[in-house]
Amino acid sequence: MLLINCPYCGSRPEAEFANGGQAHIARPADPMSLTDDEWAAYLYMRDNIKGLHHERWRHANGCGRFFNASRDTTTDVIKRTYRMGERPEAEHQGAKP
């Protein structure tokens, strides 16, 4: 079983976690000014990266908190986990942080 490093609880088994999709997607400040296409893009369009991907994870059966993880989608190796509100490390930012 994979071990995932929860920023609050430490290294814990994968079975305790739930994936929360792509991270760092900011809700538009003024949704009313967006076109339907722009709103649809915010709601539904996500990156499908081969390589390092920044994701939200939740320690669902543990502390219950959301955090971010930088995971390589080809090897499934989680390079780093970090708390909500923090940015990925510069070297990991790549094309789309």
Partner 1 sequence: MLSPAIMRSNALSPMQSSSTTAASTTTLSILPDAAKLVFRGKTEAIEAAGAHFGVKPSLEACRFAAVGGRSVHWLGPDEWLFQAVNEDPIEVFGGMSAALQAQACSLVDVSHRSDGIAVAGPTAALVLNHGCPLDLSLKAFPVGMCTRTVLGKASLLLSRSEEQVFHVDVWRSFAPYVWQFLDEARNLS
Give the interface with partner 1 as residue ranges (CB under 8 A): 1, 8-10, 12-13, 15-16, 61-65
Nearer to partner 1, 2 or 43 (CB): 2
Minimum distance from residue 10 beta carbon to partner 1 (Å): 7
Residue with Cβ nearer partner 1 (46 or 83): 83
Report the distance separating Cα 97 and Cα 52, nearest Å: 10
Tell me how far CA of residue 14 lies from CA of 23, 33, 42, 59, 86, in angstroms. Answer: 19, 41, 29, 9, 22
**What is the C-alpha separation between 30 and 22, in angstroms, rounded?**
21
Among residues 3 and 77, whose Cβ is nearest to partner 1? 3
